[in-house]
Structure 1
């Protein structure tokens, strides 16, 4: 089932993270319908860590839905959805006016990304040592998320060390380390820039 989540404010119109009252997930098998409704009950003036944990819990409730639509994407909640590898759209008005358009654009995007994934973005530094600079890719290949940039290389290439430059350590990488699929050694180079050294364990 295809799924798209919308943050809604008053009158069931698309809202922002600051004024939303509900998150609605639309699903499509043959026709679009409301798949899930999640009330949003948190103040924009809450503590930063409270807001972050609240929206992380919302992300967990969305299961396999990876597209979210808001009126304006900014602040801590935006960061949470970005880290969780969501496709984030900025639109206003009635959600049902956009369902087919979003689905069509997302499917087109997936096709393009699959083609790009065949072109590894890692740079060979020396034998067995490769580099992927996510900070650079944000500008040169903005269509690639951290997972789409790194995973094809992890899965298909032999290497001793993969160095990743990033502004934060992607949560999905930490999960792979927890599952003992990889080992990670991270160091802070400067503000908002980390060097992450990855080795495969399996």
Structure 2
């Protein structure tokens, strides 16, 4: 005999599906979650102890920062009723003109999301976005890159003319970027 009686959750499931769909379509809810991630980033960054094997949590702090930027940019995007309808519906067909946006929206590519949101970034901020995307995708979670992140390990010519990997960012650059994006999101959502 089953220890718990069978419960018909159809009505509850329908309620929660509708509720989550409405919340998913609320830009301010996204912005609030993004700010929570910023607070989590700051807490983890402050608690991190560089050069201490078990207490160096900088990778995880940068992952949280990247996730915060991602969610803030998505708040800007779904503030548009047209874009909100695209992402809150079913996945469009690949030949549909909205598919490219839908695919970008559900990615962690901060450069593409910023482009879709018409958010102008400085060169330093763009470089920071590229690296934060890496932290979301793998640097903050895995020991080695995922298959799609293998190119992150390739050597490129850096701005100073030397060869290296693009993965070094400064905590201050990340903090400045987060501060600026919060101001921009508030200006766009609360205007």
Using structure 1 for the length normalisation, give the TM-score: 0.23
Q: TM-score, normalised by structure 2?
A: 0.24
